[in-house]
Amino acid sequence: MPSTIRQIPLESATKHHSHDFHQIVITLCGSSEFEIEGLGGRVNAFSGCIVPANHEHFYSGNGYNRQLILDLPEDAPALTGEHRELVALFDAPRFFALDNPLRHYLAFVESELAQGFDTSAMSFQQDRLAATLLGSLKARLGATESTSQRRLNLSQIDRFIRHHLADELRVADLAKLACLSEAHFSERFRIQTGLSPWQYVRRQRLHAARQLVLQSRLPLTDIAIQTGFANQSALSHAFRRSYGVSPRQLRQGAGIANTPLDSAVRSTAYSTAYSTPLAPSSTPTGAAAKAGALSSRSS
C-alpha cells in the first residue's frame, strides 16, 4: 500500500487510539501534546514525533494548529525495497526537531501536495516525498543517538520528585533540571532507566504511598493527596494494579489502624517513605492524561 501525506488540525479534546501502520506527525504551526506508550511531550512548530504501528497514543491540539501527518503501512514503497533500512526509524517512539534544511524540505513537500496531481501520480509522488523525509530523519536521529553520552543525574531528579510529589509534575519540569528539551530528555531517560518519565514518577508515587500506608496511621485520603493521587479511589486502583491488594488490605495485614497521628509522627513517617526503595511488582504503561503530564490526579 502507498504512503499517505495529509494536513489536518488536531482537536483540543484529548483522544487516543492505535493503528496497524506507522505514523509521523509534524507540527506546522501551533502546538500539540502527544503521549506514546508512556513517552510524552509537547510538539511545537517544526518538531514532530514518530508513532510505531500498534502503539497506543494520546494526542490533542493546543488552540489553532496544523499538522502534517505521514501514514506508512509496513509494505509502503517508502519502507521496502531499497528503502527497507528506513523501517528502523519505527523501532521505538521518539520526538524530534527539524533543522533548517528539513524545514526547507517541508516547505517543498507542502508545495508539491498543493499541485493537485491525479490519483496515481499523487500516490507515486507521496511515496517519493515520504522516502526522502524518512531518510533525512534517520540520518539525523542516528547521529543524535550516537552522541548522547552524558548520563542524567537521577539523584537530582529523585530529590525534585520527592519534594513535589503532591504537585502536577510534567516532563518539562524534569527536562529543565537536565537543561534538555522534553523530547531529548524523555528519550535519554528511557534509555538510562528503562522507563518513561511518567512511569518513573508513578512508581515513585506508589512507593511513597506504600511506605506511608505501612509506617504511619495517616488516613488513606491524606496519603493519596500527599503522594499525588486524585483521591483514595485512584490510590486504591493503582495499588491493586501494581501490588495485587488495596492500601487498606496492606495496612490491615501489617496491623496498623487507620487513625490520625500527631504532626511530628506524620513528618517522620513521610521522611522515611524513601528510606528503602521498593518497586511495584509491575509498572503501569500508557496514561489517560495529556502527553507530558506526570500527575496521577487524573487517575
Same-domain check for residues 22 and 142: yes
Same-domain check for residues 140 and 224: no
The pLDDT score that the predictor gives to residue 186 is 87
Domain coverage including residue 167 = 154-274
Average pLDDT, the chain: 81
Q: How many angstroms separate the CA atoms of 157 and 186, rounded?
A: 13
The pLDDT-based confidence of 290 (bands split at 50, 70, 90) is: very low
The pLDDT score that the predictor gives to residue 222 is 95
Q: What is the 3-state secondary structure (H, E, C) of 50-85?
A: EECCCCCEEEEEEEEEEEEEEEECCCCHHHCHHHHH
- Which of 76-85, 158-167, 260-269 is the most confident on average? 158-167
Model pLDDT for residues 21-35, shown as the tens digit of each residue: 999 999 999 999 998
Structural domain count of the chain: 2
Q: Are 22 and 49 in contact (CB under 8 A)?
A: no
The pLDDT-based confidence of 191 (bands split at 50, 70, 90) is: confident
The pLDDT-based confidence of 269 (bands split at 50, 70, 90) is: very low
Q: Are 11 and 60 in contact (CB under 8 A)?
A: yes
pLDDT of 141 > 80? The answer is yes
- Of the candidates 147, 181, 202, which is a domain's last residue? 147
Residue 9 covered by a domain: yes
Q: How many angstroms separate the CA atoms of 157 and 3, rounded?
A: 41
The pLDDT score that the predictor gives to residue 297 is 54
Same-domain check for residues 51 and 72: yes
Q: How many angstroms separate the CA atoms of 134 and 263, rounded?
A: 58
The pLDDT score that the predictor gives to residue 145 is 44
The pLDDT score that the predictor gives to residue 159 is 93
Q: Which three cell numbers stand for residue 150?
A: 552524558
Same-domain check for residues 71 and 202: no
Q: What is the pTM of this model?
A: 0.50
Query: Residue 51 maps to which CATH number?
Result: 2.60.120.280
* CA atoms within 13 A of residue 2's CA, in its CB half-sphere: 13
Model pLDDT for residues 279-289, shown as the tens digit of each residue: 343 333 333 34
Q: Which three cell numbers stand for residue 66?
A: 496544523
pLDDT of 228 > 60? The answer is yes
**Residue closest to 42 by CA, chosen among 227, 172, 157, 142:** 172
Residue 88 covered by a domain: yes
The pLDDT-based confidence of 256 (bands split at 50, 70, 90) is: low
Residue 220 has phi, psi (to 5 degrees) of -60, -30
Tell me what the mean pLDDT of segment 88-112 comes to: 90
Q: Which three cell numbers stand for residue 270?
A: 513521610
